[in-house]
Structure 1
C-alpha cells in the first residue's frame, strides 16, 4: 500500500548529488585581484615575474601571480592591496595592456571542470562596477555629414553638373561650382531631394558655391539617436558577458550609466563595453612608390590619405600606403565577422558578411575595379588615462593600421573573406559586430567600484532573518509533527539546497528581493508539508490504518498542493517576463523555489516516509 518506485529513488539521489556539487562553489569566497590583459598580440614572456617583483619592491606581497585563461591574474590579500596594486601596475604597463580590478574565483579546479560556479550577487548585496560613458555625438554628426557629402556628389553627377567640388568642413558641407547656373541648378536639386539640409551661398570673395548643413531638428535627432543606439548596443554587449540585471540608463544629453552587479571592472567588461574596433575598406591610390614619395615630401593627393601597413620593413620602418578618402564599406555595414583559418595556407582569416546596402556598394566597386587594389583598415579607439601635474587626464588613442592590401580578383558583394587579423583580434571583432555597431564612439568618463547599496549591516540582517526563520521552522516541525517533522525538515533542507544549486547553474543574480523570494518559497514549502501532515492525521482520526493513512495523505494532498502552487507560479512567470530589476529577480527566484518545493514536498518527503514505514506491515502507530 505504501510503495515508491525504485527509479524515483535513483532520480532523487541524482538530484541530491547534483545539488550538493552545484551548491558547493558558494562556500568559496572570491579573492580581490588585478586582471592584466593584452590589448593586442600576446603576453610578453616573463610578465608574471616582472609584475610580482614590481609589487614586492613597493611593499605589496601578492597571494599569487599566474597566467589564467590568457590573462595575468594578480591575487591580493585584501581590497586595499588590490587598489594599490592596480595604481602601481597601470603606469608601468602602458597602453599595450589593460589592468583592471576583478574578483578571482577560489573554487577548486575539479568543481569548475564540472561547470559549477557560485551565484552572482546583485549590487545591493555585493556591489559591482560603475561606468559613466560619454558619447561623442559630434562624431555621429560628422559621420552623417560625410554620408550626405557622398550622396550629394552622386546626385550632382547624375544631374550632369560638372566642375563642382564637394568637401566636408567643421561647418558642414562646402560645394563650389564653375558657374552661377550650376549653383542654381544644384540648389533646386538639394531642395527637392535633401529635405533635411539647408544651404547658404558663399560670400562673393570665396567664389561661386554654398555651405550646406543639417537643419537643427535633424542634427538633434541624429545626436539623440546616437545615444539611444549605443544604449541598445551596450545591452547586447553586456548580455554576452552573462551579467544579470545590469543597470543601463541615460544621464543628461550625452552620457550613459552602466552598472554591472558582481563585476569589479574586469578587463573583458571594459573591452567589450567600450571598444570601437572595426574595419574599413578603401581603394588604393597610386602605387607604393607614390606613397613613399608622399611620406617623404609631405604632399598627399587631395583625394587620398596616408596610412601605414601593419607589417614593417626588415629594418623596422613602417610601410606607407595611399588610400582613398572615400570609404567603400564601413563598420556599421558589417553584419557579422566569423574567425577561421584559410584552408589553402593555414593563415587566420575572418569571414565578413555585409548588410544589403554594404553588399551593393561592395559589388558596385568590385565590378568597376577588377585588377585594382583594395585595402582593409583596422580602426581601434583605446581609452587612455595619464597623470598631468597629479591630475588624471583622459584621452583616446586612435589606431589605424592597414592589415591587408590585395588585388581585386573578381566581383563579390555581401560575403567574402579578409586576412591580416590575428586570432584574438578576429574573435574580439566578431563579438563587437554581433552585438551591433556603436552609432558613435564612447569614452570612459568615470569608472569606479561601488559597494553594496544597502550597506553591509542591512545585508547581514537580511541573511540572518532568513536563516533564523528557517531554523525556527525546523524546530517547530520536530516538536509539532515528531517523526514526520523530521521528514519535513529533510525535505525543506533539500529544497533550499536545490534553489541555490539551480540559481548557480543558470547564473542567476541573487539580490535582496531574491532573498525575499527564497523566504517565500520556504514558506510555501512549509504549507505543502503541513497539508500532507494534517491530511495524514485526518485519515488516522477516521480509523484508517497507519500505512493507508500515510498513502492517502500524500495522494489526496498532492492535488491541492499543485493547484495552490500553480497560481503562485503564474504570478512569478508574469513578474519574470514583464518586470525588470528587483521585480524580475524576485519572480525568477519565486519560479525556481516553487518548482523545487513541489518536488521536495510531494516526492522527496514521500520517499523518506516510505523508507521509514514502507516495510513495517504491522505498523500500529505513526509519529505525526
Structure 2
C-alpha cells in the first residue's frame, strides 16, 4: 500500500521547517549583519546609541547565523606573504651570547678572557685569549646544545660548534634549521590569525602555502594596505639595559650593544645591550589603560619565568635606566625607582587612545617570529564583489527557472511536486550553510547550481520508473510504490559516489575548492532527502485526497 506513517510525515515536515527557520536570516542579510555586529560590540563593552539601534533590527528569539560571503563576493584584501626565516637564526645567535659567556666564565683559568667578535648574523663567534684551552671551550659550549624537537631531527642536536684559530664558531645545525623553519611559519600563521581575529573580521582565509609562505584573504576589509597595517607590524617588544644615550646615530655601540632611535623624540638615540632581559614572548597579557597622569598607556603582565627575570633585574639595578623597545625603537626609557615584583608593569609614551589600543592588541596576539615580506597584494572592491553576486544570482535563477519549466512540461503535476521539493532543497542548503557558518564563494554558487541539476536527476529517475511500472502494474498506487523502491538503488549509487568526490575535494583542496566541495556535499544530502521523502510525501498526500483511478506522469 502507498502510505507513510504519521510520525514520519511529522518528522519530514519538521525537518523542512527547521531548514526554513535556519535559512530565514539570509533573506534579511543586511539587517541581521548589523544586528550581529552590534551584539559583538556590546559584548566587548562598546555600548552606544547606534549599536543599541542596530541591535533592535532583528529579534533575539530568531536565529541570527548567516552564510558568510567570501572574498570574491564581498570584496576585501588578498595578501601572499613570505616569512623571512633567516631572521630567526640571527635572533637565536644573539640570544645565545649571554649563555655562552656565562658558561665560559668559570673556565677562565683554562680559556683566558672571552669576548664576542663581529660575525655573520646567522653565527656566533667568540674569541678566547688562550688557544690551548680551545678543546675545553668547545666542550663547554657544546654542553649548551639541546636535542632537536621535531620528528625529522630525532637524535640530532640544535647547535654545531667548531673552531677557527682562537675563535669558537657556533651555528644552528641543519636539522635545527629545518625544525626552526617549520616552527617559525606555524607560529607566524597562528599570530597572523590571532591578530586578524582581534579586529573582528569575518571568516578570513589564512593558510600555509609551500614551505615559507602564507596566504591571507580577508573579506570586508577596505584595502590590502589596511590589512598589512594589522598584520605587518612585527611588534617585537624587548626590555633592554641602557648603556648611554646621545644624538649621534652613527656612534660606536661596541660589541654586544646596538644604537636605536627614540620613538617620540627626533634626534635622540639610545645605546642599549643587544641581549634583552625580558622579551614580549614572555608576556601573558596586555591591555590599554591610562597612567597616573591620565595619559593613554598599556598595562602588561609577564609569565612566571619572565616575571622572575624582570623582578630580579629591577631589584639589582635600582637607579639605572631601562629601555622598553618596540621594533628597534625605544618607546620609553624610565629609571628603575624600586623593585618591581609580581611580573607586571605599564608602558607609557606619547600615545593616542587608538595607538595604545592597537599596541595592546599586537602585544597580546604575540610578536611575529620573523619579518613578513609581501610578495603579492590585491584589493577586491565591494563593487566587484557585488558584480560577482549579481552574476551568481543570475546564473542560479536561470538554471532554477529552466529546471522548473522543464519538470513542469515533462511530468505535469508530478513535475510541480518535484519543483516544490527543489525549492525546499535550496532553502535547506542555505539553512545548513548558516548552521555551520560556512563561507559562500563563487565556486560555492557553482556547487549550488550543480545541486539543482542533481536534485532533479533523482526525481527524473523516479518518475521514469513510475512510467514503466504503469505499463505493467495493477494500479497507480502500486506503480508509484514500485517506482520509488526500484529507483532508490540508482539514486543512492549516483549520489554516494558524488559525495565521496566532494569529501576528497574538501580534504585535498583549499580555499575556493573547499567552498565548492562544501556546497556540493550539503546539496547532495538535501537533494536525496527531498527527492526520496518530500516528493513522495507530496504525492502520497495528493493521492490520498484524490484517489485517482489512473495517473499520467
Question: One fold, TM greater than 0.5?
Answer: yes
Q: Within the alignment, does 1:517 sit opposite 2:438 as a pair?
A: no
* Residue of structure 2 equivalent to 1:602: 532
CA RMSD of aligned residues (A): 5.7
User: Structure 2 vs 1, CA of residues 181 and 26 (structure 1 numbering), >3 Å: closer, same or farther?
Assistant: same
* Residue of structure 1 equivalent to 2:549: 620
Q: Which one of 403, 406, 429 corresponds to residue 363 of structure 2?
A: 429
Q: Which one of 225, 231, 234 corresponds to residue 276 of structure 1?
A: 234
Q: Within the alignment, does 1:153 sit opposite 2:82 as a pair?
A: no
User: Structure 2 vs 1, CA of residues 248 and 188 (structure 1 numbering), >3 Å: closer, same or farther?
Assistant: closer
Once the two structures are TM-superposed, the CA of residue 401 in structure 1 deviates from its matched residue by 4.0
Q: 1:79-478 maps to which residues of 2 (within 5 A)?
A: 109-110=57-58, 114-117=63-66, 119-123=68-72, 128-131=76-79, 133=81, 139-160=87-108, 164-167=113-116, 169=118, 171=120, 173=124, 175=126, 177=128, 186=137, 196-197=160-161, 199-200=163-164, 210=167, 212=169, 214=171, 228=185, 232-233=189-190, 236-237=193-194, 240=197, 243=203, 245=205, 249=209, 258-260=216-218, 263-265=221-223, 269-281=227-239, 326-332=275-281, 337=285, 352-353=302-303, 359=305, 380-381=326-327, 398=329, 400-401=331-332, 425-430=359-364, 432-433=365-366, 437-442=367-372, 447-450=377-380, 464-478=394-408
TM, length-normalised to structure 1:
0.60
Mean CA deviation greater in 153-162 or 254-263: 254-263
User: Structure 2 vs 1, CA of residues 328 and 554 (structure 1 numbering), >3 Å: closer, same or farther?
Assistant: farther
Q: 1:576-595 maps to which residues of 2 (within 5 A)?
A: 576-595=506-525
Conserved 8 A contact 1:168-1:174: yes
User: Structure 2 vs 1, CA of residues 308 and 406 (structure 1 numbering), >3 Å: closer, same or farther?
Assistant: farther
* Residue of structure 2 equivalent to 1:526: 456
Mean CA deviation greater in 482-491 or 466-475: 466-475
* Residue of structure 2 equivalent to 1:392: none
Conserved 8 A contact 2:187-2:368: yes
Once the two structures are TM-superposed, the CA of residue 470 in structure 1 deviates from its matched residue by 2.7
| Secondary structure in 2 matching 1:196 | strand
* Residue of structure 1 equivalent to 2:148: none
Once the two structures are TM-superposed, the CA of residue 110 in structure 1 deviates from its matched residue by 2.5
- Deviation string 1:427-464 (CA, Å, 9 cap, x unpaired) is 5433x23xxx5331236577441579x99999977765
- Deviation string 1:97-129 (CA, Å, 9 cap, x unpaired) is xxxxxxxxx999438995344542354x67642
User: Structure 2 vs 1, CA of residues 280 and 238 (structure 1 numbering), >3 Å: closer, same or farther?
Assistant: closer
* Alpha-carbon distance between aligned partners in 2 of 1:466 and 1:296, rounded to the nearest angstrom: 67
* Alpha-carbon distance between aligned partners in 2 of 1:364 and 1:549, rounded to the nearest angstrom: 84
* Alpha-carbon distance between aligned partners in 1 of 2:499 and 2:334, rounded to the nearest angstrom: 55
* Alpha-carbon distance between aligned partners in 2 of 1:329 and 1:479, rounded to the nearest angstrom: 77
Once the two structures are TM-superposed, the CA of residue 493 in structure 1 deviates from its matched residue by 1.9
TM, length-normalised to structure 2:
0.66
User: Structure 2 vs 1, CA of residues 404 and 22 (structure 1 numbering), >3 Å: closer, same or farther?
Assistant: farther
Which runs of 5 or more residues in structure 2 are unaligned? Answer: 35-44, 146-158, 290-296, 349-355
* Alpha-carbon distance between aligned partners in 1 of 2:333 and 2:104, rounded to the nearest angstrom: 32
| Secondary structure in 2 matching 1:280 | strand
Which runs of 5 or more residues in structure 1 are unaligned? Answer: 31-41, 44-65, 70-105, 202-208, 286-290, 342-346, 382-396
| Structure number with higher helix proportion | 2
* Alpha-carbon distance between aligned partners in 2 of 1:577 and 1:489, rounded to the nearest angstrom: 33
- Deviation string 1:142-170 (CA, Å, 9 cap, x unpaired) is 31221231232122124345873534646
| Secondary structure in 2 matching 1:275 | coil
* Alpha-carbon distance between aligned partners in 2 of 1:278 and 1:403, rounded to the nearest angstrom: 19
User: Structure 2 vs 1, CA of residues 139 and 583 (structure 1 numbering), >3 Å: closer, same or farther?
Assistant: closer
| Secondary structure in 2 matching 1:481 | helix
Once the two structures are TM-superposed, the CA of residue 274 in structure 1 deviates from its matched residue by 1.7
Conserved 8 A contact 1:492-1:525: yes
Once the two structures are TM-superposed, the CA of residue 593 in structure 1 deviates from its matched residue by 0.9
Q: Which one of 6, 22, 30 corresponds to residue 10 of structure 2?
A: 6
* Residue of structure 2 equivalent to 1:74: none
* Alpha-carbon distance between aligned partners in 2 of 1:406 and 1:309, rounded to the nearest angstrom: 21
Conserved 8 A contact 1:339-1:351: no
* Alpha-carbon distance between aligned partners in 2 of 1:538 and 1:443, rounded to the nearest angstrom: 66
Mean CA deviation greater in 550-559 or 472-481: 550-559
